[in-house]
Amino acid sequence: MRILVVSDIHANWSALSAIDEPHDICLCLGDLVDYGPDPAECVRWAMNHAHYSIRGNHDHGVAQGIAVSGDLGYRYLTRVSRPLMWDALDSEERRYLLQMPLTQRITVDGLRIFMVHATPRDPLDEYLRKDPVTWAKRVHNIEADIVCVGHSHMQFNLAVDGMVILNPGSVGQPRDGDPRAAYAVIDDNKIELKRVPYPVEQTIARVEASPLPDRAKQMIRHSLRSGRLPEAPAIIEDVE
Ligand SMILES: [Fe+2]
């Protein structure tokens, strides 16, 4: 049984459609929307292809009509891109975002998988990278073999107290210095962290053609081409 695991697509259809991976089941760990130019295509893809989907903080914000304030980093990008999401999504797509659960617990071929976008303590917002000590505290009462998470846009695989924390990385906006789309495959208990190149300039051309402010376009260009944060590390506290 091959399980495709994707997360943090962020309305980047060129990146998502570059993933050509044979699989039996697809898990989607949230953040289908915000930042990128093609939210409807990405939400439709999840509606049609993801066997199990959970809600990310951006899905929640878009579905609930939450306007964001802020002038730095990703808060700024969220603030200016979110109204474009509301324009682009029809009511069915928005309803899909609204009904996605915060967590899912599934068993596939005896493998117990727990899905959450951020962390079990704070399913939408806690920002936690590859930190074994803190992850051990977060998952100590989760009965699972693999805990699948997203949110940090950092691809990793971490053994903690007899289970594995798997972050497939971000399909549509990697932040680890590698601009290729990131995802993971679980195949008979073996986890593969994978990357695939995609036509980044195609996404950038779509962004350029959008009504986003020039500053936002510049930040997205830099982020997608470099696979890094769009501004100085001082905004690290501010990531979403
Ligand atoms: Fe995200």
In the chain, where the domains are located: 2-101+168-238
- Mean pLDDT calculated for residue range 163-189: 96
Say how many Å lie between the CA of residue 39 and the centre of ligand 1: 13
**Mean model confidence pLDDT for the chain:** 94
Tokens of 76: 């700024």
Residues with CB under 5 Å of ion ligand 1 are 8, 31
Distance 10 CA to ligand 1 centre (A): 7
For residue 201, the model assigns a pLDDT of 98
Residue in the structure block whose two tokens are 């959970």? 54
State how far the Cα of 5 lies from the Cα of 38, in Å rounded to an integer: 20
**Dihedral sign computed on CA atoms, order 174, 135, 158, 25:** negative
The helix/strand/coil state of 34 is coil
Q: How far is the CA of 157 from the centre of ligand 1 (A)?
A: 18
Q: What is the pLDDT of residue 219?
A: 95
- The CA 240 to ligand 1 mean position distance, Å, reads 6
pLDDT confidence band for 218 (50 / 70 / 90): very high
Q: Any residues with CB less than 8 A from the CB of 218 and at least 6 apart, and which?
A: none
Give me ligand 1 centre to Cα 153, in Å.
6
Distance 127 CA to ligand 1 centre (A): 10
For residue 66, what pLDDT band results from cuts at 50, 70 and 90? very high
User: What's the CA-to-centroid distance between 140 and ligand 1, angstroms?
Assistant: 24
Average pLDDT of the residues in 6-22: 98
CATH architecture of 2-101+168-238: 4-Layer Sandwich (3.60)
Higher pLDDT, 103 or 73: 103
Q: How far is CA 232 from the centre of its chain?
A: 22
* C-alpha 30 to ligand 1 mean position (Å): 8
**Band of residue 230 on the pLDDT scale cut at 50, 70, 90:** low
Q: Is the pLDDT of residue 82 over 60?
A: yes
The predicted structure's pLDDT at residue 189: 77
**129 Cα: distance to centroid of ligand 1 (angstroms):** 13
- Ligand 1 midpoint to CA 190 (Å): 25
- CA Rg, the chain, in Å? 17
- pLDDT tier for residue 238 given thresholds of 50, 70 and 90: very low
Rounded to whole angstroms, the Cα distance separating 232 from 210 reads 25
